[in-house]
Amino acid sequence: MEILVCARRVPDTSENEIELNSAGNDIEHDELVYSINEADNYAVEEALQIVARVGGNVTVVTVGGEGDEEVLRREMAMGANHGVLITDDAFSGSDGRGIATILKAFVQKGNYDLILTGVQAEAGGAQVGGMLSALLDYPFASLVNSIEVLDGRKLKISREIEGGNKELHEIDLPCVLSIQTGINEPRYVGMRGIRAVASVPIPTFSASELALDPSVVGEAAAKVKRVDYFVPALGKGAEMLHGNREENVDRVLELVAAKGGLK
Amino acid sequence: MVGSYLLAQVTDWLASGRNLFLAIHVLGVACFAYIVARRLVPLLRAERDPRWDRPLARLSKVCKFWLGQWKHPRYKTAGTLHILIFAGFILLATRAFTVLIVGVSENFVMPGLSGEAGHIYNIITDYAATVVFLCMVVAVIRRLIFKPGRYEVPERFGKTHKADAVFLLALIAILMVADSLFAAAKAAGQSQQGQPVEFLAVLSLPWLLQVALASASLPTLGNVYFGAYLLHEITFYFLLCYRPFGIQFHVETSLFNVYFAKLERGTLKPVKWGVSDERLDQVKSFGVKTYEDFTWKHMLDFYSCADCGRCSDNCPANAVGRPLSPRFIGIKARDYAYQHYPMFGRSGNGKALIGNIYSEDEIWSCTTCGACEEECPLLVEYIDKIVDLRRGMVDDGNVPQSLQKPLKALESRGNPYGKMEKKRADWANAKEFQQVCPVKTVGKGDSADLLYFVDSITSYDDRMQSIGRTTARILDHLGENFGILGAAEKDSGHEVRRFGEETLFAALRDHNAGAIKASGAKRIVTADPHAFNALKHDYKDIPPVQHISQVIASEVKAGKIKFNALENKTNVYTYHDPCYLGRHNQVYDDPRDVLDAIPGLKRVEMTRSKDRSFCCGGGGLMLFYEPKEEERMGVKRVQMAVNAGANVIVTACPFCMVNIEDAIKVAGLEGKMSAIDLAELVDQQIAREEPQAA
C-alpha cells in the first residue's frame, strides 16, 4: 500500500512559552523550538504499522520552508521511506484551502492508496484533511482511531464519537483519513536515528513543478485571514479546599456530582 | 607373616577396581571438559569486554570477595553456612584429589603432605568434612522447613527451584559421607590388623563411622572401602558434570567471576568496548537486543548466579511490586542460554530478548540504585545489563510515551521540562536573592575558581530552587569565588545515559564539558548526586568535582563552618543516603558528620542505611516514568523513618526530596514527618556571626 502522510511543523507547546508579538496579531517566534504536530506523528506511526503488516511505502509530505526539513527527517528516522518538501514563496500565507490545493496537486503526481493527516494541527483549524478529500473527490473519515486493511481495496476503521463511544466504518480506497492521537504509541526517535538519515536527499517541489497557478494559493487567494490573536482573560481561579482529608474527599465528591461527573 | 599379608590386603582393597576407577576418571573428566566447552560457546560469540587489565586490583578483589567471602556475613545464617562450606571445600580440595588418585595409584601421597603435615591435614579435613556435612543438613532443613522468603520463585518467573537445590545439597552430603566412610573403613581395617592406624579426629564424621565399623569383619570392611571409593568417585564426577546445569555452577565460575568483576563504581560500560565516541555513529545496532549482544562477562555472570535471592531481597523495585526482580534477569537469561545453546546439536540463533524473556516494564522499572550489586556475593553486575537492554530498546524506538516528551525536551531545550534555556538561572537572578547572595554567571566576561553545577531540577523546580539558593549561600559564606553556567548549562544527562539514550547523553556531555572548560573553573561542586556521579564518572577531562556535603564536612572539620544550636530540640533526625552519593560514590560519613556537628541535633539510623539504603524512587527521567507498582518506594522509605523513630528526614539530593515529600503526603504523614535537604539545614543553622563569648 502506498501511503502519504501530510505533516506539519508546529511550535512545541510543551517546550515553549508562547508570547504575543508587539503587534498583537501573532506569537513571538524568536527562541521557539519546533516539532512535528503531535497528531501527524501518530499518523506516520499508523502508516508505518500498516506497511509493516501489508507491505508498501510511506511518504511524508509537508508544505513549508527549509526549516521544515527537520520534521521530515524525524519521520524518516522513524521509518518513512520518503520525505518530500513542497516549498515556494507563492505559498506563504495560504489558508487551509490553499494548503489543501497544494497537497492535491502533489497527490495527483503520485499514486497513493491512502492519505493520512493528523486530526488537526496544534495551531490549525482541522481543515486540510476534509478539504483535500473534497478536492480529490475521495472518501473521508475524521477522528480515526483504528485502521484495519480488508481485502478488495477497503479499510475497516473506527472513529471516536463524543462521549468516548466508537463507530465502525468500511471505507473504499483511495481515501483520506484524519488520525486521532492515541491510535497507537509512536516509536521514539532520537538524535542517532536523525543523524542516520541526515544525508538522505529530500526532494522539493515548487508551484511550477506541481503545475499550480500561483493565483489560487498564497496570501492573495486566502479567504480566511487572521485578524487578531490574544490570550483570553483568566477566569475565576480554582477553589481551594481547606478541610482535613476526609472532609476534602467528601467535598470533592459533592462537587463532581454537582457538575454531573458522577452518576 | 599374617600381618604383612593383611597389610597388603588393606592397600590392595582397591586393586581389583583400578581399571573401573580409571575409566570413571577418564569419562568424568571428558564429560566435564565437553560440558564446559559447550558452555563456553555463547561466550565466544558474545560482545567483547576487556577485563585483562590491573591484575593486582583484581587479585585483591579475589582475596576479599572470593577467598575472604566478604559479602556473606550480611546475611547472618546463610552467610555463616556459606563461609563454613566454602572453607570446607577449600580445605577438602586436596584431600578429594588425593582420594581420587589413590584409586589408580594406591600409595599416592600429595607432595608436602607426607609425615606430620599429612596427619595434621587429615585431622583438619576430618573436621572440615564433618562441618560441611552438618551444614548440608542445616541447609536442607532451611530449604524444606524454614523456607526463607527470598528463595521463593514468584509464579510469573516459573517453578520453584527447591528440588534442584535440595538435590545438590544432598549430593554434597553424600560426597562427605563417602569421603568419611573411605577413611573410616581404612582406619578400622588397619586397627583390626594391628597396623599403625591413621588417627581420625575425635567426634568427626570419619571417627564416628570408624567406631561404627569397629566390629565389622575384614572382608566387609574391604567391601565398604571399595564401595565408599566408588560412591565418592561417582558422586564427585556427577556433581562436577551436573553443576553446569543448575544453580551450583558458581562453584566452578565464581573465582573467574570475581577476578573479572567490574573495578569502577558508578561507571557504565560504553555502548561498545573499543569503539570511540567519534565512531559511535557507525555502530549498526546499539545495546543488547539478542542474547549474543551481551558481553562474555555478562554471560559469565548468568552462569555464576547462585540463586541466593539477595539482589531481589534488597531491590526496591521488587519490594514495591514492580515487574522487576534482578535475580530473574540473570536466571531467565541463563535458562535461555541453556535452551538455545544445548549440549548436543546446533545452537539457536538470536531471538529478541524483549518480548520473549524480558518485558519492557521489567527493564524500565530499575532505578539503577545499585542495591542488588552491593549485595551480590559473586559481584554480578546488573546496572550495565539493564542499561544495555534499554539502549537496545531506545535504538528500536521502543520507549514509553511518558519518557518521549522529556527526552525530546532534553534534546531541544537541554532540560526534561521543556523550559526556556534563558530561564535556567532565574533561581539565582531574582533581585531579592541577588542582594543577599550574588551569584555570578561565568562565561560572559566573568570568571570563577569554583563552578557550581546546578543541573535541571534545581534550576527549574520551584521547590528545589531552595537547594540551589542554600548551596549558593553556603559557598558565599565560605568566601568561595564561585559562579554558575546559567543558560550555558544543560542537563548533566545522568539519567539520559542510564535510560539508554547514549547519543543524546553524548551531546549533552559534550556541550557541558565545553562550557565547563571555557569557564576556566578549577573545581566543580554540585548539590545533586546524579550530576555529581555524571561529572565524576561519565565526563572526561573536566576539573575535579565534589558534592556539597563533602565541601561542608571538610569545612566543618577545618573549623570554618560553625553551627548555631537547633531551636527545636524535640525533633529526631534521620539521614537518607541518596543512591548516587552513597552506594555509587561511597560518601556515607560526610553528611552524617555534618549533622552530628550541629549542636542539639538528635540523629537515629534507619535499619536500611548506608550501603543498604533503600532507594526513594529514582531520579531524573524516572520521575516521568509511570511504573506498574503496588506502592511507592518513597512511601516505604518514609515508613522506615517512622519505624526508626525519626520525624525529620534529611537527604542530600533534589530527587530524593521530590520523592520523599510526595511520599509523606501519600502516607498521610503531613505535619508528623518532614524532609529537609542537608544544604537547607546547614544554611539554616550556620553561625554567620562569630558566636559571642559566654
Q: Do residues B203 and B291 both lie within one domain? A: no
**Strand pairing partners for B92?**
none
For an interface test with B, give the residue of A9, A10, A13, A15 to mutate (most B CBs within 10 A): A15
Residue B311 has pLDDT above 70, yes or no: yes
Peptide bond preceding A174: is omega within 30 degrees of 0, i.e. cis? yes
Cβ atoms B564, B687 nearer than 8 A: yes
Letter for the amino acid at B674? S
**Pair type for strands A154-161 and A140-150:** antiparallel
Q: Do residues B78 and B117 both lie within one domain? A: yes
Q: Edge-to-edge strands of the sheet including B674-677?
A: B602-604, B572-575, B648-651, B674-677
Domain count, chain A: 1
Q: DSSP letters of B195-229? A: PPPPPPPTTSHHHHHHHHHTTS-HHHHHHHHHHHH
C-alpha pair distances (Å), B105 with each of B9, B10, B97, B111: 15, 14, 12, 14
C-alpha pair distances (Å), B91 with each of B121, B122, B126, B542: 9, 10, 10, 50
φ, ψ dihedrals at B182, nearest 5°: -60, -50
Question: In three state form, how does the secondary structure of A180-197 look?
Answer: CCCCCCCCCCCHHHHHHC
Q: Do residues B239 and B374 both lie within one domain? A: no
Chain A hits for B409, Cβ within 8 Å: 14-15
Please tell me if residue B282 touches chain A, with a CB cutoff of 8 Å: no
Among A112-121, B49-58, B107-116, B609-618, the range scoring the smallest mean pLDDT is: B107-116
pLDDT score of A228: 80
| Record: contact B408-A186, CB cut-off 8 A | no
Higher pLDDT, B399 or A240: B399
State the average pLDDT over residues B128-143.
Answer: 97
**Strand pairing partners for A165?**
A161
Write the CATH number for B317: 1.10.1060
Q: Give burial (CB, 10 Å; 0-12/13-18/19+) of B596.
A: middle
Chain B hits for A31, Cβ within 8 Å: 420, 422
φ, ψ dihedrals at B162, nearest 5°: -60, -45
Letter for the amino acid at B352? A
Residue B133 belongs to a domain: yes
State the average pLDDT over residues B656-660.
Answer: 97
| Record: contact A185-B418, CB cut-off 8 A | no
C-alpha pair distances (Å), A4 with each of A44, A51, A59, A174, B441: 9, 11, 5, 11, 49
Q: Please identify among residues 486-505 of chain B the ones whose CB lies closer than 8 Å to any CB of chain A.
A: 501-504
**Strand pairing partners for B670?**
B673
User: Which chain B residue shows the shortest CA-CA distance from A184?
Assistant: B401
CA neighbor of B629 nearest in space, from B402, B277, B320, B363: B320
Residue B671 has pLDDT above 80, yes or no: yes
Among A15-24, B427-436, B492-501, the range scoring the smallest mean pLDDT is: A15-24
pLDDT score of A263: 64
Q: Do residues B37 and B186 both lie within one domain? A: yes
State the average pLDDT over residues B218-242.
Answer: 94
**Pair type for strands A114-118 and A2-6:** parallel
Cβ atoms B209, B181 nearer than 8 A: yes
Chain B hits for A17, Cβ within 8 Å: 420
| Record: contact B408-A35, CB cut-off 8 A | yes
Q: Do residues B478 and B428 both lie within one domain? A: yes
| Record: contact B411-A191, CB cut-off 8 A | yes
Alpha-carbon span B301 to B689, nearest angstrom: 57
**Inter-helix orientation angle B502-519/B401-413, to 10°:** 30
Give the model's confidence band at B694: pLDDT under 50 very low, under 70 low, under 90 confident, else very high. very low
> Which residue in the set B403, B418, B507 is minimally distant from A14, CB to CB?
B418
Q: Which residues are CB-neighbours of B655 under 8 A, at least 6 positions away?
A: B457, B528, B530, B578, B616, B617, B618, B619, B620, B622, B623
Residue B253: alpha-carbon gap to chain centroid: 17
Q: Do residues B45 and B136 both lie within one domain? A: yes
Cβ atoms B425, B452 nearer than 8 A: no
| Record: contact B418-A12, CB cut-off 8 A | yes
> Which residue in the set B409, B502, B504 is minimally distant from A15, CB to CB?
B409
C-alpha cell at A229: 490573536
For an interface test with A, give the residue of B277, B426, B503, B625 to mutate (most A CBs within 10 A): B503
Q: Over chain A (263 residues), what is each successive 10-residue block's mean pLDDT?
A: 95 80 78 90 97 96 93 96 95 92 95 95 85 97 94 91 86 96 94 92 95 90 83 77 86 85 70
For an interface test with B, give the residue of A188, A195, A199, A244 to mutate (most B CBs within 10 A): A188
Q: Do residues B446 and B514 both lie within one domain? A: yes
The alpha carbon of residue B156 is apart from the nearest alpha carbon of chain A, in Å, by 26
C-alpha pair distances (Å), B671 with each of B373, B522, B652, B668, B675: 36, 43, 21, 9, 11
pLDDT score of B10: 58
Cβ atoms B515, B543 nearer than 8 A: no
Cβ atoms B353, B363 nearer than 8 A: no
B556-563: long-range contacts at Cβ-Cβ below 8 A with a sequence spacing of 24 or more? B556/B593, B556/B594, B556/B597, B557/B593, B560/B478, B561/B474, B561/B477, B561/B478, B561/B597, B561/B682, B561/B686, B562/B686, B562/B687, B562/B691, B563/B597, B563/B598, B563/B599, B563/B682, B563/B685, B563/B686, B563/B687
The alpha carbon of residue A82 is apart from the nearest alpha carbon of chain B, in Å, by 19
Write the CATH number for B413: 3.40.50.1860
Q: Please identify among residues 374-403 of chain B the ones whose CB lies closer than 8 Å to any CB of chain A.
A: 394-399, 401, 403
pLDDT score of B11: 57
pLDDT score of B15: 83
State the average pLDDT over residues B593-597.
Answer: 97
Residue A258 belongs to a domain: no
Residue B1 has pLDDT above 60, yes or no: no
Q: Do residues B172 and B122 both lie within one domain? A: yes
pLDDT above 90 coverage of chain B, percent: 88
State the average pLDDT over residues B120-141.
Answer: 96
Chains A, B: CB pairs < 8 Å: 57
Chain A hits for B413, Cβ within 8 Å: 15, 33
| Record: contact B398-A187, CB cut-off 8 A | yes
Please tell me if residue B284 touches chain A, with a CB cutoff of 8 Å: no
Alpha-carbon span A257 to A237, nearest angstrom: 20
| Record: contact A188-B399, CB cut-off 8 A | yes
φ, ψ dihedrals at B414, nearest 5°: 80, 10
Residue A251 belongs to a domain: no
Per the prediction, chain B carries an average pLDDT of: 94
Q: Do residues B15 and B142 both lie within one domain? A: yes
User: Which chain B residue shows the shortest CA-CA distance from A187?
Assistant: B397
| Record: contact A31-B420, CB cut-off 8 A | yes
Q: Which residues are CB-neighbours of B495 under 8 A, at least 6 positions away?
A: B530, B619, B620, B621, B622
Alpha-carbon span B92 to B238, nearest angstrom: 17
Residue A239 belongs to a domain: no
> Which residue in the set A15, A187, A192 is minimally distant from B412, CB to CB?
A15
Cβ count within 10 A of residue B597: 17
Write the CATH number for A123: 3.40.50.620
H-helix segments, B142-204: 162-192
Q: DSSP letters of B449-485? A: SEEE---HHHHH-TTTHHHHHHHHHHHHHTT--EEE-
Residue A241 belongs to a domain: no
Q: Give burial (CB, 10 Å; 0-12/13-18/19+) of A50.
A: buried
Domain count, chain B: 4
DSSP A155: E
| Record: contact B503-A189, CB cut-off 8 A | no
Chain B hits for A188, Cβ within 8 Å: 394, 397-399, 403-404, 407
Alpha-carbon span A102 to A85, nearest angstrom: 12
Question: In three state form, how does the secondary structure of B419-431 look?
Answer: CCHHHCCHHHHCH
| Record: contact B412-A16, CB cut-off 8 A | no
The alpha carbon of residue B669 is apart from the nearest alpha carbon of chain A, in Å, by 11
Give the model's confidence band at B296: pLDDT under 50 very low, under 70 low, under 90 confident, else very high. very high
Range of the domain at B438: 405-548
Residue B391 has pLDDT above 80, yes or no: yes
Residue B190 belongs to a domain: yes
φ, ψ dihedrals at B451, nearest 5°: -100, 125
For an interface test with B, give the residue of A10, A31, A192 to mutate (most B CBs within 10 A): A192
Write the CATH number for B610: 3.40.50
Residue A43 belongs to a domain: yes
Residue A250 belongs to a domain: no
Chain A hits for B408, Cβ within 8 Å: 12, 15, 35
C-alpha cell at A32: 521557539
Residue B261 belongs to a domain: no
Residue A188 belongs to a domain: yes
Cβ count within 10 A of residue B210: 24
pLDDT score of B9: 52
The alpha carbon of residue B499 is apart from the nearest alpha carbon of chain A, in Å, by 12
| Record: contact B395-A185, CB cut-off 8 A | no
H-helix segments, chain A: 38-54, 69-78, 96-109, 128-136, 191-196, 218-221, 245-258
Q: Do residues B607 and B459 both lie within one domain? A: no
Residue B7 has pLDDT above 50, yes or no: no
Cβ atoms B489, B422 nearer than 8 A: no
B460-478 residue pLDDT tens: 999 999 999 999 999 999 9
| E strand residue ranges, B58-174 | none
Q: Do residues B290 and B343 both lie within one domain? A: yes
Note the ipTM here.
Answer: 0.86
pLDDT score of B442: 92
For an interface test with A, give the residue of B285, B410, B412 to mutate (most A CBs within 10 A): B412
C-alpha cell at B382: 546488573
| Record: contact B507-A191, CB cut-off 8 A | yes
Q: Which residues are CB-neighbours of B688 under 8 A, at least 6 positions away?
A: B477
Range of the domain at A127: 2-221
Alpha-carbon span A84 to A99, nearest angstrom: 15
| Record: contact A245-B668, CB cut-off 8 A | yes
User: Which chain A residue shows the shortest CA-CA distance from B412?
Assistant: A33
Q: How many residues does chain A have?
A: 263
Residue A163 belongs to a domain: yes
Among A103-107, A151-155, B179-183, B530-534, the range scoring the smallest mean pLDDT is: A151-155
Residue B606 belongs to a domain: yes
| Record: contact A187-B407, CB cut-off 8 A | no
> Which residue in the set A78, A191, A196 is minimally distant from B504, CB to CB?
A191
The alpha carbon of residue A73 is apart from the nearest alpha carbon of chain B, in Å, by 15
User: Which chain B residue shows the shortest CA-CA distance from A77?
Assistant: B397
